[in-house]
Amino acid sequence: MIDARQLTKRYGEKTAVDSLDFVVKPGTVTGFLGPNGAGKSTTMRMIVGLDAPTSGSVTVNGRPYARHEAPLQEVGALLEAKSIHPGRSAYNHLRALALTHGIPRRRVDEVIELAGLGSVAKKRAGAFSLGMGQRLGIAAALLGDPQTVMLDEPVNGLDPEGVLWIRNLLKALADEGRTVFVSSHLMSEMALVADHLIIVGRGRLLADTTVGDLIRDAGGDTVTVVTQDPARLRDVLAGPGVDVTGRIGSEELQVTGVTAREIGLKAAEHGIALFELSSRSVSLEEAFMDLTRDAVEYHGSTTAVETQGSVA
Amino acid sequence: MSTLTATAEEQPRTTAPDRPAYRVTGRRVLSSEWAKLWSLRSTWITLALGLLFLVAFGLIAASHYKSGIGSGHQDRDFATATAVSLSLFGTNFAQLALGVLGVLVTAGEYSTGMIRSTLAAVPRRLPVLWSKAVVFGLVALAVGTLGAFVAFLFGSQIVSGTPAAMGLSHAGVVRSLLGAGLYLGLVGVIGTALGALLRSVAGGISVLVASLMLVPGLISLLPSSWQDNISPYLPSNAGESMFALTHDSTTLSPTAGLLVFLGWTALALAGAAYRLVRSDV
């Protein structure tokens, strides 16, 4: 359980995190989503006390992180992947962290196996690939058998097998009743694992919602109808949960809450002529883009690219 | 996929209500820092280098003195030499190795990113600084004391029969050798403090070298009346008083030297503690 209240972080003039209020509940995977530079990593660093909030507060299982007797047992965090000394072996890295809490050697071996690092555990961590480093970071996060697991962009640098491993791991952890908080800038990745979504942009909370609600709010399944008699069709379709919009004088209507099939049947029943009937499904990706369009820090441009065909 | 099955098997055990009661204690942080120190190859190399400098330069100085006596024209510098001063000639070089390793112990965590893991495990932070200072201070003390005694045992053999000859039973010799070990131990602590204060390996080493080796030279530019008042209290000169066999009016007594040098160490540690607690990682 993570509870942020009016959490704010300023670096001089720039506000990285702006009055965030959210709660991350146990038993589900909560996705923390936002474009690059939205303040996700800063928020996560404040949760484990690496950065101090400028104002506001954040608690973990009822207390500030630093006030716990065994912090690694409360929150296991993967922040930046390379939070290791490259000269130390994976085993010695985990062992050193375990010693601070009195975590037995057996548990170190367990997380090494769990992360699939068995064959490289004695090698210098500096020689690890990005994916191996990420696995080591996850092993460290799970070391204290934590109630809350918090991972910052865990799939970065992982191969497809690793990505699948992370997905299953996150779901398994949530099923065990743990709080799982995962950040990503990829909606597609989050859609596969997260039940709940906390979306931020430029440090502000944009949405605190579920995957289903997000789609519905973004226009969900909208049906476009072009008809000869929009006024009558409005009356015919009216009902609870049905929303019909359209400009006055226009033959086009946007309908949500009823399927295209139902609209067609109703129109036929009342003898209203339809010229066009099409349903449009908003993808999660589109919903996310709509929400964060104004909050994207770095816009790219694709119009300037011109392909120069060469004829040999 | 073995990793998946491992996750599945994990489930019944981890949901058990009797979770082990882990706890962060000062002693555990100490043991973690101890393990961290020895699990890096650079530690072994630098400590060996420090020991080598201490012993080898002591023996070279003793041999040089001895050959000067034999050939008849002695260097001016060696006029007041004793077996102790010759044997401890390598202290200047050993302090570099030990001080630099001290800087690496703390600043190395910042340059690699390890500090984030360290402080996530010990978010109260200060126990990490104290543990690093204690662990590395004791290791540097042990290496320094061992090196000083080894250098003297062989060095005094070389210069036996010359005016500089001295044995362990000679007044003040054991105190000087222990003082040299203590001085090197404290240099190690100052190194760790500077590394934590500046959070940069290059910065920490620069300030260390400047304060131990360059500042005494710069002081000679001051008017001489100022020099006499300031000079004995500089870290390097106060430290030297800890292990010098003879003292005159321009130097501090061994005890006063130790107290002044402890003061410098405490100052560096206080600065490091302040920055560690106050600033983001």
Check if the beta carbon of residue B58 is closer than 8 Å to that of residue B88. yes
Q: Contacts of residue B4 in chain A, CB cutoff 8 Å? A: 165, 168
- A264 plus A143 within the same structural domain: no
- A93 plus A226 within the same structural domain: no
- A50 plus A165 within the same structural domain: yes
Mean pLDDT of B5-18: 43
- A179 plus A75 within the same structural domain: yes
Answering whether pTM is above 0.95, one says no
Q: Is residue A307 part of a domain?
A: no
- A177 plus A83 within the same structural domain: yes
A209 or B8, greater pLDDT: A209
B117 in reach of chain A (CB within 8 A): yes
Cβ under 8 Å to B: A residues 109-128: 113-116
Q: What is the CA radius of gyration of chain B?
A: 23
Closest chain A residue to the Cα of B11, Cα to Cα = A176
- A147 plus A27 within the same structural domain: yes
B26 in reach of chain A (CB within 8 A): no
Mean pLDDT of A153-171: 91
Q: Is residue B211 part of a domain?
A: yes
Mean pLDDT of A71-97: 93
Q: What is the mean pLDDT of chain B?
A: 90
Mean pLDDT of B260-280: 97
What percent of chain B has a predicted confidence (pLDDT) above 90?
72
Q: Is residue B8 part of a domain?
A: no
In chain A, the number of structural domains is: 2
Order of strands across the sheet that contains A221-227: A243-245, A252-256, A221-227, A274-281
pLDDT surpassing 60 at residue B136: yes
Q: Is residue A135 part of a domain?
A: yes
Which residues have C-beta within 8 Å of that of residue A86, sequence separation ≥ 6? Answer: A124, A125, A126, A127, B112
Q: How confident is the model at residue A214 (pLDDT cuts 50, 70, 90)?
A: confident
Instruction: Check CB contact under 8 Å for B42 and A113.
Output: no
Among A210, A240, A269, where does a domain finish?
A: A210
d(CA A115, CA A126): 17
- A119 plus A252 within the same structural domain: no
Mean pLDDT of A83-100: 96
- A77 plus A179 within the same structural domain: yes
Mean pLDDT of B161-170: 88
Among A210, A245, A263, where does a domain finish?
A: A210
- A52 plus A101 within the same structural domain: yes
- A253 plus A201 within the same structural domain: no
Mean pLDDT of A167-190: 92
Closest Cα of chain A to B262: distance in Å?
A: 28
Q: Is residue B7 part of a domain?
A: no
Q: Contacts of residue B124 in chain A, CB cutoff 8 Å? A: 66
Mean pLDDT of A180-201: 89
Mean pLDDT of A155-173: 91
pLDDT surpassing 60 at residue B166: yes
- With CA atoms as reference, report the closest residue to B29 among B119, B107, B98: B119
Q: In CATH, what number is assigned to the domain containing residue A68?
A: 3.40.50.300
- A95 plus A33 within the same structural domain: yes
Which of A99, A113, A161, A165 to mutate to probe the B interface, most B CBs <10 Å?
A99
pLDDT surpassing 80 at residue A280: no
In terms of residue numbers, what domain contains B192?
Answer: 26-278
Q: Which of B11, B109, B115 sits opposite A176 (nearest CB)?
A: B11
pLDDT surpassing 60 at residue B17: no
Q: Is residue A291 part of a domain?
A: no
Q: Is residue B171 part of a domain?
A: yes
Q: In CATH, what number is assigned to the domain containing residue A254?
A: 3.30.70
pLDDT at A52: 96
B20 in reach of chain A (CB within 8 A): yes
Among A177, A210, A243, where does a domain finish?
A: A210
Closest chain B residue to the Cα of A69, Cα to Cα = B23
pLDDT surpassing 50 at residue A155: yes
pLDDT at A288: 82
Q: Which of B6, B20, B29 sits opposite A114 (nearest CB)?
A: B6
pLDDT surpassing 50 at residue A36: yes
Closest chain B residue to the Cα of A178, Cα to Cα = B15
Supply the DSSP symbol for B212: I
Supply the DSSP symbol for B76: G
In terms of residue numbers, what domain contains A231?
Answer: 221-281
Q: Is residue A84 part of a domain?
A: yes
pLDDT surpassing 70 at residue A219: no
What percent of chain B has a predicted confidence (pLDDT) above 70?
91
A59 in reach of chain B (CB within 8 A): no
**Most confident of the following: A70-84, A128-142, A232-246, B25-39:** B25-39
- A152 plus A191 within the same structural domain: yes
Closest Cα of chain A to B98: distance in Å?
A: 19
pLDDT at A312: 39
Which of A83, A89, A159 to mutate to probe the B interface, most B CBs <10 Å?
A83
B7 in reach of chain A (CB within 8 A): yes
pLDDT surpassing 50 at residue A256: yes
B211 in reach of chain A (CB within 8 A): no
pLDDT at A300: 64
Instruction: Check CB contact under 8 Å for B35 and A72.
Output: no
Q: Contacts of residue A79 in chain B, CB cutoff 8 Å? A: 116, 120
Closest chain A residue to the Cα of B5, Cα to Cα = A114
pLDDT at A259: 85
Mean pLDDT of A78-95: 91
Mean pLDDT of A27-54: 94
> Is residue B246 within a helix (H) or strand (E), and if so which, with residue range?
none
Q: Is residue B135 part of a domain?
A: yes
Any idea which of A111-120, B85-94, B246-255 has the lowest mean pLDDT? B246-255
Closest chain B residue to the Cα of A144, Cα to Cα = B22
Q: Contacts of residue A89 in chain B, CB cutoff 8 Å? A: 39
Q: Is residue B11 part of a domain?
A: no
ipTM of this complex prediction, to 2 decimal places? 0.87
Q: How confident is the model at residue B12 (pLDDT cuts 50, 70, 90)?
A: very low
Q: Contacts of residue A168 in chain B, CB cutoff 8 Å? A: 4, 7
Instruction: Check CB contact under 8 Å for B22 and A85.
Output: no
pLDDT tens, residue by residue, B80-110: 889 999 999 999 999 999 999 999 999 999 9
Closest chain B residue to the Cα of A173, Cα to Cα = B11
In chain B, the number of structural domains is: 1
d(CA A271, CA A288): 39
Distance of CA A75 to the CA centre of its chain: 18
Closest Cα of chain A to B70: distance in Å?
A: 49
